[in-house]
Amino acid sequence: MVSITKENVVAQEKLFRVAVSKVQIVMIIAKRIYDYLQKEQVLLPRFDKGVQHLVHFIAPLRQLANRRPGGNEIEYAEISETNDMDMLTACALQDTDLVKTLINRRKNLSRKNKHGWTPLMYACYYGSVLIVNELISVGADKCALNNNGQSSFSLAVMRNHVKIMELVYARELLKKTDKNGCSPLNCAIEYGCYDSIRWLLERGADPNAVENNEPLLSVAVALGNETIVKYLLKFGADPLKTNSKGETAEMIAAKNNYHSLVTLIQFRVSAMQNLQKLFQMLSLEKYWPIMRDNNIDMDKFLKLTENDLQNLGVNLLGPRRKMSMAITSLVALRHKEQHNPGINLVIELKNIEINSV
């Protein structure tokens, strides 16, 4: 008969805890597959029932794993020699109580696993605001990078967790690229994270950035995502910028038969070119670069006041007044045509030229 010693009991408890931890990980994977299928409206009743059984199965196991035979709670520090995996798993499971318990037993919350992930990275990736707050409050490193060069912030970005992005944001991370040469904005575009894209652009992310020889607008166009293309154009992406093959966004859209994107980009290009033509007709060519560099097209120009023009750098009174008169005349002409989107802009420009003489 094998003698029962304290060492044997502790060893068995450790093995049991590891086994339960692995079952928990399987549960996470199954639950996330289920959530995805449910989101895609794929009905799998058997799978649904299986996940429910798994949830009910794991609960008593976790309670049992947390207690010694005598009824006292087992120390989490005994789970493994380093205890790193337990904190990472707790963050992935979004187990706030377990994280708080582990925090009380740890000094360094930025130690990494073999992939370079920290507990904060897991909490950001899986979207637990409570755990992120807990980790930050005890000094977790927001700027740590994993083996792929990703920060907690960039992981939150690619999961569209805007609330968490605000918690772990640091300005130096806004444009920092990972080992694949992708910035947070590029990752958000690739993953179709609309909320993240809007948040990043509002904080100053560059819509005209070129990464891996591709302008970000070209990346969005190649994906065929009209919503993202509209976001980028709204924040000043240049539709005439070319990639390493010399292709513009319009050319990429046409090549992929994205007809609605072709129309959208052509409208933007036309608006920019029409404004440039207007400045040429008014003999104000030297002020065109100011408009171009501030991503102002015809529609935006027509909303500018005289104070706006001065703030943009049109300091001389004569040219500024000439622009204001042109804006007033163009707005009046558009009202007469009842904002007809098919109005002939060439006629409008000729009328402006006559009124400006």
Residues 285-300: pLDDT tens digits? Answer: 999 999 888 878 888 8
Give the Å distances, CA to CA, from 69 to 23, 80, 196: 21, 19, 48
Residues 235-276: pLDDT tens digits? Answer: 888 888 899 899 999 999 999 999 999 998 988 888 777 888
For residue 260, the one-letter residue type is S
Whether 71 shows a pLDDT value over 80: the answer reads no
- For residues 54 and 328, what is the distance between their CA atoms, to the nearest angstrom? 68
Whether 199 shows a pLDDT value over 80: the answer reads yes
Domain made up of 87-176: CATH architecture: Alpha Horseshoe (1.25)
> Is domain 266-338 annotated with CATH 1.10.150.50?
yes
The pTM for the full model equals 0.64
Phi, psi of 339 (to 5 degrees): 55, 35
Sign of CA dihedral 201, 206, 212, 215: positive
Residue with tokens 């006292």: 72
Instruction: Give the residue extent of every domain in the chain.
Output: 87-176, 266-338
